């Protein structure tokens, strides 16, 4: 069965076909608003509920009477008639509402159009004014930009010029600085090299000076004893005749202002021709190579014949020994060509024998340096030695005298020339020094030793004169002798 939609007295709808009744007019309006839709829905829901209630009543049981069905029919007719009328009224009301709204909307749209037109005119005016202002501002900005461009171009030109000048100045300064740095580096390098050289030289000089100071410092001093140097029995046994004995300075009667009167030592003088002195000094365990130089400090009252110095080496027991059983070689040193003249008498001298080419000597300021030379009187037992041999030999000690650094030193000696005329030898011997790598060893000759021996001899003579005794009971010659008690009864 086809479904039917009742639109009141206006139209009928069956399935998909709608038939408008004759003389009626179907108006289709816009969809109802939210409020009207809610009202229509409420109304339809109410009527639908009434129909449902009626249907439930019809189907509730089989004992349904006619009155009930009639009520149902009436209800349906009422719904069909009343519902359509109500819906038509609502639609009319909705149409009226819509028409009122359209009118209001038209009015509002018209007002809005007037307002929009006014706003558009105002906006056009304002836009026109803004365009004028913008054009003026653009013109002003263009002018300012142009001025700024001119100023910027001028500033750029000025800056370029200044930068160029600054670059030139910086380049010139850099060149100058590079040149100065280079010069400073050269100067610093030169100064460093010079300083290094000076430091090296200073260090070398300091070491040399330290060595010199060490070599010149006195680290050993020995007082020479008279009875050891002048041992008369030993001298007689060795065949040493006519010796010169030291004289006490107290007996010399030198002028008080002379150097001799103010010089301490052993005074030696050949009062008789043919006499001489020859004093030996110990060498210990020294070797020839240990000796740098030897010195003799003396006061020469006469310079006609000066003392000489000798170095004796230990014999080796072969044909090379100059004096078999005594010494192998004797190196004799005498004054050289720079010897002082007679007018230089009564002066203090330091005779120097330089064996190792030393340049700094142990020489006091109040001594005049007197150099020596190797004499032809030196000997090693191999025959006569000429002056030419000494002058031309590459190494005099080794080539001519067969003396080497490793040879042992037997003794040192201080002597005088026995061939000198009387009174031509007169000097005061103060110190004999041996200069080594480790320092100076000195042998001191004090007048006190000579004077003590002189007084001992005089006392011995006095004792012998008084008592007529021999040397065995002489208290001055024999310390073990007891002096007898004097016998005063014989007086």
Exposed, middle or buried: residue 86 (CB in 10 Å: 0-12, 13-18, 19+)?
A: middle
Binned at pLDDT 50, 70 and 90, residue 491 comes out as very low
Asked whether residue 239 carries a pLDDT value surpassing 60, the answer given is no
- Confidence category of residue 2, pLDDT binned at 50, 70, 90: very low
Check pLDDT > 80 for residue 94. Answer: no
Q: What is the mean pLDDT of residues 56-65?
A: 56
Confidence (pLDDT) at 427: 93
Q: What is the pLDDT of residue 445?
A: 94
Q: Given this model, what pLDDT does residue 203 score?
A: 81
Q: By C-alpha distance, which of 19, 25, 442 is closest to 220?
A: 442
Q: Residues 160-176: what's their mean pLDDT?
A: 88
Q: What is the pLDDT of residues 441-488, one digit of tens each?
A: 999 999 998 898 888 888 877 777 776 666 555 555 555 555 555 555
Backbone CA torsion sign across 477, 479, 480, 486: positive
**In contact, 414 and 309? CB cutoff 8 Å:** yes
The answer, yes or no, to whether residue 318 has pLDDT greater than 70, is: yes
- 308 vs 65: CA distance, rounded Å: 192
Most confident of 39-43, 282-286, 395-399: 282-286
Model-level pTM? Answer: 0.55
SS (H, E, C) 14-68: ECCEEEECCCCCCCCCCCCCHHHHHHHHHHHHHHHHHHHHHHHHHHCCCCCCHHH
Q: Are 354 and 333 contacting, i.e. CB atoms less than 8 angstroms apart?
A: no
The yes-or-no verdict on residue 433 having pLDDT over 90 is yes
Comparing 413 with 490, the larger pLDDT belongs to 413
The reported pLDDT for the residue numbered 135 is 86
Task: Write the secondary structure of the chain as one string of H (helix), E (strand) and C (coil).
Answer: CCCEEEECCCEEEECCEEEECCCCCCCCCCCCCHHHHHHHHHHHHHHHHHHHHHHHHHHCCCCCCHHHHHHHHHHHHHHHHHHHHHHHHHHHHHHHHHHHHHHHHHHHHHHHHHHHHHHHHHHHHHHHHHHHHHHHHHHHHHHHHHHHHHHHHHHHHHHHHHHHHHHHHHHHHHHHHHHHHHHHHHHHHHHHHHHHHHHHHHHHHHHHHHHHHHHHCEEEEEECCHHHHCCHHHHHHCCCCCECCCECHHHCCCCCCCCHHHCCCEEEECCCCCCECEEEEECCCCEHHHCCEEEEEEEECCCCCCCEEEEEECCCCCCCCCECCCECCEEEEEECCCCCCHHHCCEEEEEEEECCCCCCCCCCCCCEEEEEEECCCCECCCCCCCHHHHHHCCCHHHHHCCCCCCCEEEEEEEECCCCCCCCCCEEEEEEEEEEECCEEEEEECCHHHHHHHHHHHHHHHHHHHHHCCCHHHCCCCCCCCCCCCCCHHHC
pLDDT value of residue 256: 84
Q: Out of 136-140, 190-194, 210-214, 443-447, which region has the weakest mean confidence (pLDDT)?
A: 210-214
Q: How far apart are CA 305 and CA 420, in angstroms?
A: 7
- Among 29-38, 145-154, 202-211, which is the least confidently predicted range? 29-38
427-445 mean pLDDT:
91
- The model's pLDDT over 65-82, given as tens digits with 9 standing for 90+, comes to 566 667 767 766 666 666
CB 414 within 8 A of CB 279: yes
Give mean pLDDT, residues 87-95: 73
Residues 6+ apart with CB under 8 A from 425: 244, 268, 269, 270, 276, 302, 304, 305, 307, 416, 417
User: Do 226 and 453 touch, CB atoms closer than 8 A?
Assistant: yes
Closest CA to 459 of 474, 470, 440: 474
Q: Are 259 and 416 in contact (CB under 8 A)?
A: no
> Reading across the β-sheet that carries 11-14, which strands appear in turn?
4-7, 11-14, 17-20
The pLDDT score that the predictor gives to residue 297 is: 93
Does the pLDDT value for residue 108 go beyond 70?
A: yes
CB-based contact 2:15 (threshold 8 Å): yes
pLDDT higher at 126 or 19: 126
Residue, of 485 and 191, whose pLDDT is higher = 191
Residue 370 has φ and ψ, to the nearest 5°, of -125, 110
Q: Indicate the burial class of 14 (C-beta count within 10 angstroms; 0-12, 13-18, 19 or more).
A: exposed
- Non-local (6+) Cβ contacts of 469 within 8 A are 463
Task: Identify the residue with better confidence: 41 or 97.
Answer: 97
Distance in angstroms (rounded) separating the CA atoms of residues 310 and 290: 16
pLDDT given for residue 413 in this prediction: 92
Q: Could you tell me if residue 104 is left (phi over 0), alpha (psi between -120 and 50 degrees) or otherwise beta?
A: alpha
| Structure-model confidence comparison of residues 63 and 196, the more confident one | 196
Higher pLDDT, 36 or 367: 367
Mean pLDDT value of segment 158-168: 88
pLDDT at res. 454:
85
């Amino acid at each position: 069965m086809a479904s039917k939609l009742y639109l009141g007295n206006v139209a009928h709808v069956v399935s998909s076909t709608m038939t408008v009744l004759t003389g009626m007019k179907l108006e289709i309006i816009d969809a109802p608003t939210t409020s009207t839709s809610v009202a229509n829905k409420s109304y339809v829901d109410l009527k639908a509920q009434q129909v449902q209630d009626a249907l439930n009543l019809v189907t509730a049981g089989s004992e349904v009477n006619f009155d009930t069905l009639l009520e149902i029919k009436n209800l349906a007719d009422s719904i069909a008639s009343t519902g359509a009328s109500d819906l038509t009224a609502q639609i009319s009301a909705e149409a009226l509402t819509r028409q009122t709204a359209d009118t209001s909307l038209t009015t509002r749209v018209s007002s809005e159009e007037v307002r929009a037109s006014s706003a558009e005119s105002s906006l056009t005016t304002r836009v026109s004014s803004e365009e004028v202002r913008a054009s003026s501002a653009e013109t002003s900005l263009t002018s300012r930009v142009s001025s700024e461009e001119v100023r910027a171009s001028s500033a750029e030109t000025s800056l370029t010029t200044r930068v160029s000048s600054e670059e030139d100045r910086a380049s010139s300064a850099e060149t100058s600085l590079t040149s100065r740095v280079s010069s400073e580096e050269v100067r610093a390098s030169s100064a460093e090299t010079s300083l290094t050289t000076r430091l090296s030289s200073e260090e070398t000089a300091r070491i040399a000076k330290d060595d010199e100071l060490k070599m010149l410092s006195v680290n050993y001093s020995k007082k020479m004893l008279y009875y050891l140097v002048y041992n008369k029995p030993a001298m007689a046994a060795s065949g040493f005749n006519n010796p010169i004995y030291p004289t006490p300075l107290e007996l010399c009667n030198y002028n008080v202002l002379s150097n001799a009167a103010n010089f301490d030592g052993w005074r030696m003088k050949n009062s008789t021709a043919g006499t001489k002195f020859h004093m030996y000094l110990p060498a210990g365990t020294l070797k020839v190579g240990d000796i740098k130089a030897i010195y003799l400090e003396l006061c020469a009252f006469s310079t006609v014949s000066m003392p000489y110095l000798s170095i004796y080496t230990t014999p080796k027991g072969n044909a090379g020994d100059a004096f078999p059983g005594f010494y192998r070689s004797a190196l004799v040193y005498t004054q050289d060509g720079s010897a002082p003249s007679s007018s230089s008498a009564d002066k203090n001298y330091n005779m120097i024998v330089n064996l190792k080419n030393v340049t700094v000597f142990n020489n006091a300021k109040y001594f005049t340096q007197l150099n020596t030379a190797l004499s032809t009187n030196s000997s090693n037992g191999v025959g006569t030695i000429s002056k030419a041999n000494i002058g031309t030999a590459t190494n005099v000690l080794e080539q001519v005298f067969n003396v080497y650094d490793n040879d042992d030193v037997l003794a040192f000696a201080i002597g005088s020339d026995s061939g000198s005329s009387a009174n031509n030898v007169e000097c005061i011997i103060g110190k004999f020094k041996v200069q080594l790598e480790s320092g100076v060893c000195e042998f001191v000759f004090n007048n006190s030793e000579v004077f003590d021996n002189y007084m001992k001899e005089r006392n011995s003579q006095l004792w012998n004169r008084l008592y007529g005794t021999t040397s065995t009971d002489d208290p001055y010659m024999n310390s073990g002798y007891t002096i007898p008690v004097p016998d005063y009864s014989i007086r």
